[in-house]
Structure formats: structure tokens, C-alpha cells
Structure 1
Amino acid sequence: MFETLIRGATIVNAEGFERRDIGITGGRIAALVAPGETASARTVIDAAGAYLLPGLVDAHAHLREPGLTHKEDFSSGTHAAALGGVTTVLDMPTDEPWTATAEQLADKMAMAEGRIHVDVGLQTVVSRDLSLIPRLLDLAPVSFELFTADVPDDFLFATLDAVAEALKAFTGAETLIGISPGDQSILVGSTMRDGSGSIAAFQASRPPLAEASGIARALAAACMAETRIHVRQINSELGVEAWSRLRGMADASVETTPQNLFFTAQDYETQGANLKASPPLRSPHDVDALRAALSAGLIDIVATDHAPHAPAEKAAPYAAFADIPGGMPGLQTLLQAMLKLVDEGLIELPDLVRLCARNPAERFGLGRRKGKIAAGCDADILILDPRQSSTIANSDQVSRAGYTPFDGWTVQARLTSVFLRGREIVHEGKLIGPKVGNIITRES
């Protein structure tokens, strides 16, 4: 006898659709049961006509704790994630202080215990002190993050030589290094040429050329060091071209974000500060190229870069557009934004699962328990009703940012239940029960 049986629905994995019922015991999927096969459980959930998706894995989010909790914290950020069907959040290390030492990582792990609504994996930053890496590896963070532009000097690897030396420190290690592609020389040079503080000056400081250069350097360095890398959000045609031509050089994956698949630089005119982030939004031509790459399978992961700020921070006056705090919320809207792409015919539901569940789970060392509906995996399950529609609204957002750039958008599906390790944590859009999320680490 199972503890829970979800019956009558169609399972959606990255490989396709399958009609099976799901038996759950001990927080894991115990079996996939053929329709009509006799099975009993203490709790039976009738999901006839619905789709069952694995809980989403957001590989790029900023929960803002410690030190920046006026923007977001573990509780509010994972509340947003749960409502959006993201059952695993991979938290970036750029808080205050940045998570750069084993002590800081251990403290952050302890800080989150008992305060998170979904599972959270922590990522740590590569500092210029490479001697810190071995002790960090002992704690099995889901990834390390290496920055090549636009960060404090202690964490800046501005040259190809510096990137290569840093990656060599990971040769032979079972981990993944995330790299944000940029070029500090272009950022500095463009700023010197145009100090006007305009939106155009911000865009010029982080052009597609910088993205393409960062991608090429990352792949060459990873090839030399024989390390596994993940290239953070790309959004330009030139970046896509560099990636498509060079990606075979190394063991590498790449991500983009929902906002980069929908918005262009023209949208700064209407949403302004709320859309300010790095990389800057690009031209319609770039968005078309990125969408084509997504449809063609050249993009491995879609993640949110959830980066909320207090509303007063976004609304305050700044001398330059570049000074506006960068980032926007996204955890609560990842599923709906991706469903919009399904509605448009750019991708299909199995692609959504591949991009936002299976691939991030496998790439970040969680593939044995997350990212798919299969026997032995954690029972992180979404019930999605395609017979209903849902509308994204600012008023429904629980992130402390209090808004979404997708306000007013409607998609032809509705998330009705979210399960984390077999326990229903969201029902009909409302959080239910206690905080049962765990801190998770990279699989050995």
C-alpha cells in the first residue's frame, strides 16, 4: 500500500508524455502504476485530465540572505517559489557577505534550516584566494560561481589568464563552475567613452561583443583545465553564435532567462527600472535569435535570475541608469512564463520540463533525486490543469519586490497543487502546512 496515489493524469517528463498513476511512499516516488492496475493507498488524489510535471528547478536565484533581507529572505523567496511550482531553488552567493568561505557557506546552510518552503541548494563564489576551494568542496555546494566583469575586485577574474588559473584549481573535482560571461575591458572602455548615465550608455557598457568574448574565453579555459562549466544567461545573437560554434570545446551548458525571451530594449520606455538588469535587454533581432536557439535545442536551461529589490530602491532617483539596482523577481512566474512559450508554440510541455527541471537537476548534481517523475526520485510533483487558464498579477506576488514584469499575462493552464517530497505544500494557489524544505547538496 502506498501512502499517496495520484491517479488519472498524464505524466510529462523531458522524454514525452505517459499515462501512469504515481504511488508515493516515504517522500519518494515508489512506483509508476499503469492505468487500471490495482493499487491502494491511504490517500488517493484524483487528477483526471491533468498533467503531472516534476517540480521545477531554478538554477539561478538570489534569495538575498544574509545581509539583504529587506529585499528578500529565505522564507519569502521560497514562498514565491512554491506558489510558482519551483520545488528546488539554487541560490546564488552574492549576498552580504558573499558566500566565499567554508565558514560562510556553513553559516548560510544553518541559517536556512527550518525557514524554507522548498528545497534549496547553495552556490558559492570563487574568490581570488583559490586556497579556499578545497574546504568549500568538502561541503558539496551545488556549484561555484566565477565572475569575469562588473563585480568587486576580490571576485573579479578579468583576463583569460585569470579565468584559466581559477578553473585549473577545479581540475578533477566533481563540481560545476558557473561563469557569467562579460568583458571588463569593454565595460571600462565604454564607460570612459560615454559617461552620460543614459540607458544607451548602460547598453554600450555590456554589448553583445562582451557576451561573446566572455563565452569564448570561458569555453577555451574550461577546455584547457578539463573542468565542467555552466555559462550564465545569454541574450544576444552574437552570444548565441559564439556558443553554437564553440560549445563542443568543453563540458559546458548554457542558460537564458524568461525575461530575455520576451522583452526588448524598447520595453525600458514603459517599465524602466523594473526591467533593469544585466545583461541589458537587447534588440528584437536578438530576441528572435535567442528564441530560435531555444526552439532548436541550443539552450540547455531556462532560469530566472530571481533578483528582487525593495520597491523603494527601484523607484528612487539615480544619477545613471546603470546605478539602478539590477534584477527582478521571477521565481513565482517561471512556470507561467514558460507556459506562455508553450501557448505560442515555440516549445512543448516536455521541452519545459527539460529546460526547467531535468537539465538543471542533472547539470547541478541533483539528477538522481530531482527533475523527473521516476521511481526512486523525490516526489516533487506539480498538478497542472490545461482546462483552466491563469493570469499573472502584481497583486498576487509574494516576493518582497511586490511586482512582476509579466503582470496581466494569461496562459492556458493552471497550477492547482504542488507537492514537495510527497507532501502537498500548495493547494489552489495557497501555501499550506509548515516549512518542510531542506538544504540539499551536490550528489557525490
Structure 2
Amino acid sequence: MELGSSVRAVRSRRVLLGDVIQPAVISIQDGSIRSVRRWSALSEEEEEEEDAPCEVWDVGDRLVMPGIVDSHVHVNEPGRTSWEGFWTATRAAAAGGITTIVDMPLNSIPPTTTLGNLNEKMREAEGKCFVDTAFWGGVIPGNQLELKPMVRAGVAGFKCFLIHSGVDEFLHVSDSDLHAAMQQLQGTGSVLLFHAEKEVPGTIEERGDPCEYSTFLRSRKDVMEVEAIRTVTRLCLQYRVRCHIVHLSSAEPLVLIREAREAGAPLTVETTHHYLTLSSEDIPPGATQFKCCPPIRSRANQEQLWSALKAGDIDMVVSDHSPCTPDLKKLDSGDFNQAWGGISSLQFGLSLFWSAASKQGFQLSDATRILSRNTSQLCCLDDRKGSLAAGYDADLVIWDPEREFVVKEENIHHKNKIMPYLGGKLQGLVHATLVRGQLVYREGSFCPKPLGKHLLVSPGQHQTPKR
């Protein structure tokens, strides 16, 4: 099967259909799934008649499941393309079995906070995406009148910060800004995403060696997430606007989240691969490649996050791919206070999740729900993404969940190769990725030209979260 070609049918002895893995043939027509047929339901003669003259790509025992939808990716183009760009980010996504990304409104310059800036972002992305790409808008002080025009233009929703974002052109919002934004979003069905950390008055600034991770960890206490999420849940209940907490790192706010949902709040929650696979006890001095905000917390906290994911208190897992140039990580000084806070893991999300989740008692069907279906629901793409069913986009990842591999710099496809997983062994190797039936990645190689398209959400697609 040639890279860039349109695949007519895929056959495997292991296709994940709902909660069951079974032999099946997935037939594809015009980029969509035409049918999914179980082998056991066909005689050999019926199978040959059904497939003729269609060429069937037999992938043997490799697992076929819906492509991953990563709803939290910082591409940074335009303006900070030296950090990352659509070409490199979407190639990395394809290599990881990700068929759709949703681009965050920062750290690009300009940020996606106006209709004009959204149009500029989409122009920059045109012809550079190897996978399908949707876009988040941003809420900053004073831009509330831009929100409805961006909803009509097709953004998946909006993101805001309750604390300094790390870049000066994307300012964090006050309570009055949030009320103004909520009033604009009422009735639209759109969703507001929160970076849920908040400065807490009265906390004492911790002093210590800036090269010790424990010093940085003490500067971003759990209470900052607790108080931010207290604000989020109150607003969610007051306005009944869909709200979403991005990259939950602390288990302490989970009780607030449960209480709000029980009271009827339309609230969803994500965590990230790094909070589920890395722990503060294992971070060496000066290893600033581990820095992110909120911070990586203790092993005991991590176990609580896994329990919350299993219980459904956390809905989804994303990469929060947030790269930068090597100098911004301050590896020479090892100063956690000065280093950029972000972790790059886009390409390895499926493998990172499965390496850990399989040991936590999760099943492969959980991977599809947590990495594909729930993320597509968040950004209102679940009518076409995240499922293997007739009428859905033929977005497939073909992979070997049992196969182990080592993360090596030469195999990383995002632009800057600094990441905390270098040299680590992961389980679950992606063999091939199809986007709308087109073979965009196979065994380290990519299609000759980008085949991804922009995904715009029509206002009627916005919905309340399914739980």
C-alpha cells in the first residue's frame, strides 16, 4: 500500500469494535467508513464477492482502532514556529496514530483571540497539516465581543487562564472577565476551557535551590488548583455554560468536581500523559525537561489520578504538547524557576498511555474511549471522529499494543527533541495511520504531501457533554 494512496478496505484479525476485539473488514468509500463487517458473519465466497474488485489491505494481527483525537496541542504557528509548526507537529501526530489535533490559541503570535487572528492562523496552517486540525479560540481581558463571531467561524470552543499564561500576549482573566465571557457564551453550546491554577493570597513563597525540583513543586501548590476549580464550578453552575478543566494535575480538587457534577454542572475534565506516567520523586536535580505547569506531583497523587480516571471523574487524557527551543529549557543552568514550563509528547501519547494503563487494569476499549471518543465529544467532532462505524471518517491507527520500543532522538518527529521520555522504553508501536482513508504514515515514512484538512465546528454541533 503506497503512502498517500486511498485505501479501499482494511482487514485485520484484531479490530476493536466497541468493547470487543474481533476479525473484521473495514470498507472505505470517499474518505468515510462504508461498512464494518465481522469475518465470522461471512463465508469465504460472500467475503470475496463483497470485496471484489476492491483491494483489501490485510494487516494481519495488528490492532485496528479509531485514530486518536488529541484535543490539547500547542502548535505555536505563526510567530513561534521555531518552537513548533504545523508541518512538524502534524507529522509527529501521524507517527503516533493521532488523526486529529485541536490547536491551542497560544503560544502563537498573534494568539487566536479575534476572528482576524483565527483567519490568519488558518491561512498559516493551510497546506501544512498531515492530519486533520481544529482550532480553539482564546478568552482574554476585553475580547468578549469576539467570541460569538469565532463561534460562527467554527472554533471548537475557547480557553482561558486564571494565572499568568507564560506569554505576555495571552493575558489571564479576572472574575469580571469571566462573567462577561460566560454571558456571551450562554446559549451557544460552546465550551470554555480553564487552565485551573490561581494565585492564592496568604501563601508563603518557598525558598530553596532552584535546581531542585522540590523547590519548584512547592511554588505551585495543590491549593492553587483547588481554588481555581472552586471558581470554575461556581461559574459553571451559575451560567450552565459547558466548562472543561484542562490538564488536572492534583487529586485534591476531585471532590469539588464530583459535587459540581452531582449538582448538574456541564463539566468535563482532562489530565495528561505526563501526570499519569511521571512522578516528582523521580525527577533529578536540574532536569528541567520535566518542568510543566501545573507541576508533576507525587507518586501517591498519581495513583489517585488513575483511580479517578477509572471511576470516570476524569474523562480524557491528552498530550498538552507544549514545546519550545532548547535554550528556553535552561538545561545548562538547570534552573526550574527560569525554564519554560511545557512537555513535548505528542507523538508518543498512545504508547505512553498504554504502557501505563495496561498495568493499571485498563482495556484497549478504554483507550479508545479516553483518547478518541471523549476528546472528540469535547470539541464537537464526535459526529465524524472517534468511532469505527459507518458514516464516520475513515481515521484509523494500526498498531501493535504488545511491541516495545525505545524513544530515540532520531525517531522523534516534532521540531525540538527535548523531552523527559528520551531513552525510555514504551509499549505499543504504531505501524500505520490513515486519515479519511488515506495512508499518511507507515513504519517511519510519511505521505509525500500533507493531506490533512481544517475542521470547523458549525454552531449547531455544539452540545452538552455526554456522561
Q: Shorter-chain TM-score category? A: over 0.9
- 1:90 lines up with 2:94 in the alignment: no
CA contact (8 A) 2:164 2:171 kept: no
SS of structure 2 residue aligned to 1:8 = strand
Q: CA deviation at 1:388?
A: 3.6
- Paired with 1:348 and 1:373, the residues of 2 have a C-alpha distance of 17
Q: 1:354 aligns with which of 360, 365, 369?
A: 369
1:441 alignment partner in structure 2: 456
2:463 alignment partner in structure 1: none
Q: Partner letter of residue 446 of structure 2?
A: L
CA contact (8 A) 1:50 1:384 kept: yes
When structure 1 is superposed on structure 2, of 417-426 and 148-157 the one drifting more is 148-157
Deviations along 1:89-130, one digit per CA (max 9) or x if unpaired, are 111011222111000001111110111111111111112221
Across the two proteins, how many residue pairs are aligned to each other?
440
2:59 alignment partner in structure 1: 47
- Paired with 2:355 and 2:443, the residues of 1 have a C-alpha distance of 20
2:37 alignment partner in structure 1: 33
- Paired with 1:154 and 1:367, the residues of 2 have a C-alpha distance of 29
- Paired with 1:438 and 1:315, the residues of 2 have a C-alpha distance of 36
- Paired with 1:68 and 1:14, the residues of 2 have a C-alpha distance of 40
SS of structure 1 residue aligned to 2:258 = helix
- 1:280 lines up with 2:284 in the alignment: no
Q: Partner letter of residue 96 of structure 2?
A: G
- 1:334 lines up with 2:349 in the alignment: yes
Query: Percent identity among equivalent residues?
Result: 26
Relative to structure 1, is the Cα distance of residues 374 and 339 closer, same or farther in structure 2, using a 3 angstrom cutoff?
Answer: same
Relative to structure 1, is the Cα distance of residues 269 and 430 closer, same or farther in structure 2, using a 3 angstrom cutoff?
Answer: same
Q: CA deviation at 1:201?
A: 4.5
1:395 alignment partner in structure 2: 410
CA contact (8 A) 1:149 1:158 kept: no
SS of structure 2 residue aligned to 1:424 = strand
- Paired with 1:262 and 1:274, the residues of 2 have a C-alpha distance of 14
Q: CA deviation at 1:164?
A: 3.3
1:207 alignment partner in structure 2: 221
Deviations along 1:256-289, one digit per CA (max 9) or x if unpaired, are 0011012122233167110111001111211111
CA contact (8 A) 1:143 1:175 kept: yes
Relative to structure 1, is the Cα distance of residues 345 and 168 closer, same or farther in structure 2, using a 3 angstrom cutoff?
Answer: same
Q: Partner letter of residue 282 of structure 1?
A: R
Relative to structure 1, is the Cα distance of residues 374 and 402 closer, same or farther in structure 2, using a 3 angstrom cutoff?
Answer: same
- 1:132 lines up with 2:136 in the alignment: no
1:26-425 correspondence to structure 2 within 5 Å:
26-35=30-39, 36=42, 37-38=46-47, 39-40=50-51, 41-94=53-106, 95-129=108-142, 130-151=144-165, 152=168, 155-159=171-175, 161-186=176-201, 189-191=203-205, 194=207, 197=210, 199-249=213-263, 250-269=265-284, 272-315=287-330, 321-386=336-401, 388-425=403-440
CA contact (8 A) 2:92 2:346 kept: yes
Relative to structure 1, is the Cα distance of residues 183 and 48 closer, same or farther in structure 2, using a 3 angstrom cutoff?
Answer: same
Deviations along 1:371-412, one digit per CA (max 9) or x if unpaired, are 111100110101123464333223311212213322333344
Q: CA deviation at 1:150?
A: 1.7
Q: CA deviation at 1:17?
A: 3.2
| Contiguous gaps of at least 5 residues in structure 1 | none
Deviations along 1:227-254, one digit per CA (max 9) or x if unpaired, are 0011111121212333233333411110
Relative to structure 1, is the Cα distance of residues 223 and 96 closer, same or farther in structure 2, using a 3 angstrom cutoff?
Answer: same
- Paired with 2:98 and 2:253, the residues of 1 have a C-alpha distance of 28
CA contact (8 A) 2:200 2:223 kept: no
Relative to structure 1, is the Cα distance of residues 162 and 353 closer, same or farther in structure 2, using a 3 angstrom cutoff?
Answer: same
SS of structure 1 residue aligned to 2:54 = strand
Give the alignment's TM-score, normalised by structure 1: 0.93
SS of structure 2 residue aligned to 1:321 = coil
Relative to structure 1, is the Cα distance of residues 319 and 373 closer, same or farther in structure 2, using a 3 angstrom cutoff?
Answer: closer
